[in-house]
Chain A
């Protein structure tokens, strides 16, 4: 058993998730599985239909259901080999089928088809070749911890899925049988299903179709449950992990042993990033890729392209070597840097589009000419010039032209008619976004400010509430700039952003220089006070307030 070749993830999980794994597995190998199932399945169905009396076909359907445990072997045979990477065709599975059946004929008891969890135990007989008492032990071991219960519930679900598809088949036919007089689709179908032989035949067909679809689903689900269960019991995933570790260890040791001179260097560079090989594509993607030109293709195939320009530029920058020794050292360095592990560029062979001569004539044609040609010459030159070849345009072409002209005219008229609505739409784009209510956490709505700001500031300052005074001053400044001078500010702006916006506006002549000066003063004393705890002297504040009044308060008054 080649665990490395295993196609599915066998790390332990819930039983339900293990059963669900059967579906992707089945989807991957559905061709051979369904072919192997359907050949004998359909043959049996047709045989039963042919030999049984029409009225008794239901017994044939029952027989197929009873024989289904035999058909379960086919998907199991294929999937159990494919999952380990061994390719099996449907024909090989069918050839092997009689041998698989051998001992199973005696298991065709009355209760076998009722044993809904049988799929979990099938591999014990079929794949492990266990018999008698040993088989019983194996069943106990595999079915433990609720695994057999999970398989049984899955069997019950699959029975119902068969029923779902049978009913869906009836429903599909009923959708086409319904007439306006019928109350419902099923009632419409009921009119056809009166004679016993028709009922029996419909039941036979729908069962064969539905169980032919669900049978492999059941087998696959039980098989993956079996696999996971065995992996859990025997530690398959542990073995896999250990084998991988050993392989990587062997890979690591090889370069270390081979080059003694490079031993230290290699050890330093390889140990901290042991997965250098695996990570290669990722790393190289972040490097600038040098794509060789088409003529350098032969060199590129050997992994030797021209050095990228930034490397050669670097080399040139260094100038000539002082002496022979330095030159030798440099050459050594260059070889090391050019080796695959150290270089910062990647050499790869790529297809590059050839430069093509653009035909001068094509593009010089005007768009109108090309449009007209597209309009009238589309059907090729063979069609045109039918009857009245001398005139050029046929009557149908004239009509086409008139219709197109009409369409263009209609569009133009619609644009003209709706010009006011459109102009509003265009204008609305330029409307200023609403001003934010606060900046730097300060409320800048004009209604939140006192009427006379400097007086308010002086009062607060006089009361000893210096921080409040300066905050009010700064708040008022920003508010005036935003509301009176239409400075574009955003809720997240900082003091610096506000000042920068002011400077930009002043440069664009949208803000008077005085206002900007006032703003700068206020920002200065506010920042010094708020962030550095450096409070201005009263004279300085008075001076700032004076300038503020002349620059920013005027507009309001």
Chain B
């Protein structure tokens, strides 16, 4: 089963699933960062030329350019929870492979290796690695042990209809209970005819058919959630 997720096993025995981000979204993030760095660079150039015209300004400019090139990503990733400006706007985040936030070591490594990923020109190696790697990591990510993932958005659970709760007809596994809740939350979004079909499919569980079967499922779900929101 291909699910495109990275499953992290914590020492407590909990499995966390994060979704590594593919090449396209990372490309947008990089482009936003490119523009941000260009703007910062021009602003600094302008201000420095005003403040100290002549050789000193040029020298300072060199330092600023160096920092924009090498420190921009590192500093932002370390201090802003693994997000640079572009990553923040596109909903991405750098994590360590064990799910922890990146520190100096990882961030410095992955961003120094940008130069290798950039080879032979315009991120050819980096793109190749992202397309080939299982978790869409470029070379820098592989070396630093990091992975770029989608940041989770808080999901809004739809309101369930208020019905009389019923106990389950037989014991369901936790997975099945989750599937049942998922079902009742989403079943109303599919076409009416399809809803009836799904109701028929639930017959072994409810002993009913069609819409009546769905109603029974809603009651089971209410029994699971105690009549409250899931």
Stretch from B19-27, B46-54, B77-85, B104-112 forming part of the interface with A:
B19-27
Which residues does chain B contribute within 8 Å of A28, judged by CB atoms?
2
Question: Given contacts A171-B119, A249-B204, A250-B204, is CB(A271)–CB(B170) below 8 Å?
Answer: yes
Q: In the complex, are the beta carbons of A245 and B172 less than 8 A apart? A: yes
Whole-angstrom CA separation of A217 from B131 in the bound complex:
9
**Interface code A154-197, partner B: CB below 8 Å = 1, 0 otherwise?**
10011011011101111110110000000001100000000000
Contacting A16 at CB < 8 Å: which of B21, B121, B131, B170? B21
Whole-angstrom CA separation of A244 from B179 in the bound complex:
10
CB of B194 closer than 8 Å to a CB of A: yes
Q: In the complex, are the beta carbons of B24 and A274 less than 8 A apart? A: no
Whole-angstrom CA separation of A171 from B4 in the bound complex:
32
CB distance from A533 to the nearest CB of B (A): 39
Q: In the complex, are the beta carbons of A246 and B201 less than 8 A apart? A: yes
Q: In the complex, are the beta carbons of B120 and A175 less than 8 A apart? A: yes
Whole-angstrom CA separation of A1 from B187 in the bound complex:
20
CB of B221 closer than 8 Å to a CB of A: no
Q: In the complex, are the beta carbons of B24 and A158 less than 8 A apart? A: yes
Q: Which residues A334-372 have CB closer than 8 A to chain B? A: none
Which residues does chain B contribute within 8 Å of A271, judged by CB atoms?
170-171
Which residues does chain B contribute within 8 Å of A8, judged by CB atoms?
1-4
Q: In the complex, are the beta carbons of A16 and B22 less than 8 A apart? A: yes
Which residues does chain B contribute within 8 Å of A243, judged by CB atoms?
201
CB-CB nearest in chain B for A175? B120
CB of B212 closer than 8 Å to a CB of A: no
**Interface code B8-29, partner A: CB below 8 Å = 1, 0 otherwise?**
0000000000011111110110
**Interface code B198-209, partner A: CB below 8 Å = 1, 0 otherwise?**
100111110000
Q: In the complex, are the beta carbons of A245 and B176 less than 8 A apart? A: yes
Which residues does chain A contribute within 8 Å of B3, judged by CB atoms?
8-9, 21
CB of A405 closer than 8 Å to a CB of B: no
CB distance from A537 to the nearest CB of B (A): 51
Q: In the complex, are the beta carbons of B150 and A245 less than 8 A apart? A: no
CB-CB nearest in chain A for B152? A14
Which residues does chain A contribute within 8 Å of B2, judged by CB atoms?
7-9, 21, 24-25, 28
Question: Given contacts A8-B3, A17-B150, A175-B120, is CB(A245)–CB(B186) below 8 Å?
Answer: no
CB of B64 closer than 8 Å to a CB of A: no
Contacting B24 at CB < 8 Å: which of A12, A21, A153, A249? A153
CB of A76 closer than 8 Å to a CB of B: no
In the complex, how many residues of chain B place their beta carbon closer than 8 angstroms to a beta carbon of chain A?
49
Whole-angstrom CA separation of A243 from B204 in the bound complex:
9
Q: In the complex, are the beta carbons of A246 and B204 less than 8 A apart? A: yes
Q: Which residues A8-42 have CB closer than 8 A to chain B? A: 8-9, 12-14, 16-17, 19-21, 23-25, 27-28
Question: Given contacts A235-B190, A249-B205, is CB(A154)–CB(B24) below 8 Å?
Answer: yes
Contacting B120 at CB < 8 Å: which of A12, A174, A238, A248? A174
CB of B183 closer than 8 Å to a CB of A: yes
CB of A510 closer than 8 Å to a CB of B: no
Interface of A (DSSP majority class): helix
Which residues does chain A contribute within 8 Å of B120, judged by CB atoms?
168, 171-172, 174-175
Which residues does chain B contribute within 8 Å of A272, judged by CB atoms?
171
Contacting B124 at CB < 8 Å: which of A168, A221, A246? A168
Question: Given contacts A165-B127, A171-B120, A175-B120, is CB(A21)–CB(B1) below 8 Å?
Answer: no
Question: Given contacts A157-B27, A274-B173, is CB(A245)–CB(B4) below 8 Å?
Answer: no
Which residues does chain B contribute within 8 Å of A201, judged by CB atoms?
none
CB of A402 closer than 8 Å to a CB of B: no
**Interface code B160-192, partner A: CB below 8 Å = 1, 0 otherwise?**
000000000011110010011011001101110
Whole-angstrom CA separation of A149 from B23 in the bound complex:
17
Whole-angstrom CA separation of A217 from B130 in the bound complex:
12
Q: In the complex, are the beta carbons of A235 and B186 less than 8 A apart? A: yes
Which residues does chain B contribute within 8 Å of A9, judged by CB atoms?
1-5
Q: In the complex, are the beta carbons of A23 and B136 less than 8 A apart? A: yes
Contacting A20 at CB < 8 Å: which of B136, B176, B203? B136
Whole-angstrom CA separation of A13 from B2 in the bound complex:
14
In the complex, how many residues of chain A place their beta carbon closer than 8 angstroms to a beta carbon of chain B?
58
CB-CB nearest in chain B for A163? B122
Whole-angstrom CA separation of A7 from B25 in the bound complex:
24
CB of A287 closer than 8 Å to a CB of B: no
CB of A420 closer than 8 Å to a CB of B: no
CB of A199 closer than 8 Å to a CB of B: no
CB of A275 closer than 8 Å to a CB of B: yes
Contacting B183 at CB < 8 Å: which of A165, A175, A242? A242
Q: In the complex, are the beta carbons of A7 and B132 less than 8 A apart? A: no
CB distance from A216 to the nearest CB of B (A): 10
Among B3, B132, B186, which residue has the most Cβ atoms of chain A within 10 A?
Answer: B3
Whole-angstrom CA separation of A178 from B77 in the bound complex:
36
Whole-angstrom CA separation of A14 from B198 in the bound complex:
24
Whole-angstrom CA separation of A185 from B4 in the bound complex:
38
CB of A241 closer than 8 Å to a CB of B: yes
Q: In the complex, are the beta carbons of B182 and A241 less than 8 A apart? A: yes
Which residues does chain B contribute within 8 Å of A19, judged by CB atoms?
22, 24
Which residues does chain A contribute within 8 Å of B22, judged by CB atoms?
16, 19-20, 23, 221
CB of A239 closer than 8 Å to a CB of B: yes
Question: Given contacts A16-B25, A160-B27, is CB(A172)–CB(B124) below 8 Å?
Answer: yes
Q: In the complex, are the beta carbons of A24 and B134 less than 8 A apart? A: yes
Q: In the complex, are the beta carbons of B127 and A161 less than 8 A apart? A: yes
Whole-angstrom CA separation of A115 from B53 in the bound complex:
50
CB of A233 closer than 8 Å to a CB of B: yes
Q: In the complex, are the beta carbons of B182 and A153 less than 8 A apart? A: no
Whole-angstrom CA separation of A167 from B127 in the bound complex:
12
Which residues does chain A contribute within 8 Å of B125, judged by CB atoms?
168
Which residues does chain A contribute within 8 Å of B172, judged by CB atoms?
245
CB of B123 closer than 8 Å to a CB of A: yes
CB-CB nearest in chain A for B119? A171
Q: In the complex, are the beta carbons of A249 and B170 less than 8 A apart? A: yes
CB-CB nearest in chain A for B24? A157
- Given pairs A17-B150, A20-B19, A245-B204, 4 additional interface contacts (CB within 8 A): A237-B182, A242-B179, A242-B198, A275-B173
What are the nearest 10 A-B pairs in CB distance?
A168-B124, A171-B121, A20-B22, A171-B120, A9-B3, A241-B179, A157-B24, A246-B204, A172-B120, A167-B122
